[in-house]
């Protein structure tokens, strides 16, 4: 079955999926060591948040599979944008107050999320331009 998304975007989605999993799993398992985390955040709520964010990525793939590639690209952008939320850790504590592993997982998630967001925006623009070009060509043929 052919995918609407090119292989490089599917690879980026997979990389971002791994980055979010690494960051959220580290966050959940070492929540007590993250500086200034609200007490309301627990291991379970961190995993639930990861599932909710991942559901956006899954929805993007489903939308594209069902013939809605622009919606799929926009949802992929939203999925990637969620990775920027990892920067919120630095509002709670300085970079130097976090462990190296924490900083690495945050950096991995933020970087791959930003690249996915930008790549998805370019893809959505191309898909929209392609659909307009096809419509314009059809009108000229009449």
- Does the pTM surpass 0.95? The reply is no
Say which DSSP state 30 is in.
T
Q: Which segments of the chain are extended strands (E)?
A: none
Where residue 132 falls among pLDDT bands split at 50, 70, 90? low
**pLDDT value at residue 34:** 87
**pLDDT value at residue 141:** 46
How far apart (Å, rounded) are the C-alpha atoms in residues 107 and 111? 6
The full set of domain ranges for the chain reads 7-141
Neighbours of 55 (CB within 10 A): 12
How far apart (Å, rounded) are the C-alpha atoms in residues 24 and 46? 7
């Amino acid at each position: 079955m052919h995918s609407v998304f090119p292989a490089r975007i599917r690879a980026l989605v997979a990389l971002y999926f791994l980055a979010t999993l690494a960051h959220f799993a580290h966050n959940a398992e070492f929540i007590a060591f993250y500086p200034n985390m609200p007490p309301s955040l627990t291991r379970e709520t961190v995993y639930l948040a990861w599932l909710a964010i991942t559901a956006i990525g899954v929805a993007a793939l489903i939308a594209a599979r069902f013939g809605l590639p622009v919606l799929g690209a926009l949802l992929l952008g939203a999925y990637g944008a969620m990775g920027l939320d990892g920067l919120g850790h630095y509002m709670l504590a300085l970079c130097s107050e976090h462990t190296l592993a924490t900083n690495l997982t945050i950096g991995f998630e933020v970087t791959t999320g930003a690249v996915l967001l930008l790549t998805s925006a370019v893809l959505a623009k191309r898909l929209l331009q392609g659909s307009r070009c096809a419509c314009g060509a059809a009108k000229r043929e009449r």
